[in-house]
A = this chain, B = another copy of it.
């Protein structure tokens, strides 16, 4: 491969300069891909996975192997779920148009979606991706408050647009923060005592507010994942985010909950902020919303949205189209019909217990944590420093054993386990048994 040595690679990702022997089908796809796709693409794993089909929690490789998917939250109800295919097919053969005409599906779905939220969150605007929704949340908050400043976590990831990447420092040093963006330290639940986390976080946010007020930007919003994902899947003690609502309101800003990863039942609740016991002004929904058919949304209070809505029209060509809505509606059907929130809570608790058992027996495991089917196991070396190399070895070792997970956190030293919600107890057992075999290597 002729990739330039200066290229920035992804933690855990494929590096063409590594000495990896690929199977012929994978090597052929990789060669064709390198001739046509843009140079900003990256692949997962030291040895990339080439996929042919998917069903439930399983992906079938072009190498003929079955891979247990313990990572993807987009196929929230499982890969290739027939209920999604049926709903999309039916709508696609009937009508697919935009929201400048009246169509019934977007209205009926909105009524149903909003019923899963606290009643204050009573208006929804559709986009196609979480990036677009967070970007719209920024525009909305700046209009609502008249302020510019945004407060984020120092290892946040919120998306790929100019504005969303400007609040995504986890993209690395070549990706500049946006103007009027200030960071608070990553919440480190592995190292800070549980009873000090909320207090420290509140103090950090007050300091960030002071910086934005001093600079003249003022506070438009604080934006946090309701499970702090790129910061290393920080989840407990539930409740530590709640005090920030009043703090940011006092400063004239809004609270934007990024629900792209925790939302749609993953934690056992519909929404991650429920775990923390607060109501945000705006909530950003994405990845799992249509089980892979692009759809995302901004949900919020009327008060938070009306200044923007009065001043500027917003039209997203594909946003809220009847086909994406049909997929999203079928997702709600399946989450409810197959009791997937309940399954996430039950199997998640079992996984957490298993990970804790494994961690208790291994000095290299600093911390195990999780909420529903969103879990992490954090590694340290003999000096107690984050051990990203071990995390990478485990992630790639699990991939060799046919189980797909990834890593997360400022040092990329925490395993990230986030499977589709139909993940069964048997799947969980397989993951735990495999981890017990891979970890000692």
Using CB atoms and an 8 Å cutoff, list the residues of chain A in contact with chain B. Answer: 4, 6-8, 10, 13, 26, 29-30, 32-33, 35-44, 48-54, 59, 62, 72, 74-75, 79-80, 82, 84-85, 88-89, 92-104, 106-107, 110-111, 114, 122-125, 127-132, 135-136, 138-139, 160-165, 171-172, 174-175, 286-287, 291-295, 298, 300, 302, 305-306, 308-318, 320-321, 323-324
Contacts and interface: CB of A to CB of B under 8 A. Distances in A.
B130 A293 contact: no
Contacts of A38: 123-125, 298, 300, 305, 309, 314
Given A80-B96, A89-B85, A92-B80, A37 B106 contact: yes
B95 A294 contact: no
A97 B10 contact: no
Contacts of A30: 102
Nearest to A104: B29
A66 B36 CA distance: 43
B7 A310 contact: yes
Contacts of A175: 311-312
A111 B32 contact: yes
B59 A97 contact: yes
A305 B4 CA distance: 14
A39 B161 contact: no
29 contacts: A33-B102, A35-B122, A36-B107, A37-B99, A38-B124, A40-B313, A40-B314, A41-B99, A42-B313, A44-B101, A50-B103, A51-B102, A52-B95, A74-B98, A75-B97, A80-B93, A85-B93, A92-B293, A96-B293, A128-B318, A130-B317, A135-B162, A136-B161, A139-B162, A160-B314, A160-B315, A160-B316, A171-B313, A175-B311
A193 to B, nearest CB: 35
Given A36-B123, A48-B101, A317-B129, A53 B95 contact: yes
- Top 3 A-B residue pairs of the complex, sorted by shortest distance between their CB atoms: A39-B309, A38-B125, A40-B314
B110 A95 contact: no
A144 to B, nearest CB: 11
A311 B8 contact: yes
A174 B8 contact: no
B313 A292 contact: no
Nearest to A52: B95
B79 A318 contact: no
Given A96-B292, A293-B318, 19 more contacts: A29-B102, A32-B111, A35-B122, A36-B122, A37-B125, A42-B313, A43-B100, A43-B102, A50-B103, A54-B94, A59-B97, A80-B94, A88-B89, A89-B89, A96-B293, A130-B317, A135-B162, A174-B311, A292-B323
A297 B188 CA distance: 38
Most chain-B CB neighbours within 10 Å: which of A32, A98, A306, A314? A314
Contacts of A316: 129, 131, 160
Contacts of A54: 94-97
Contacts of A93: 80, 82, 85
Contacts of A111: 32, 35-36
Nearest to A42: B313
Question: Most chain-B CB neighbours within 10 Å: which of A36, A52, A132, A305?
Answer: A36
Contacts of A313: 8, 10, 40-42, 171-172
B41 A314 contact: yes
A158 B25 CA distance: 40
B128 A294 contact: yes
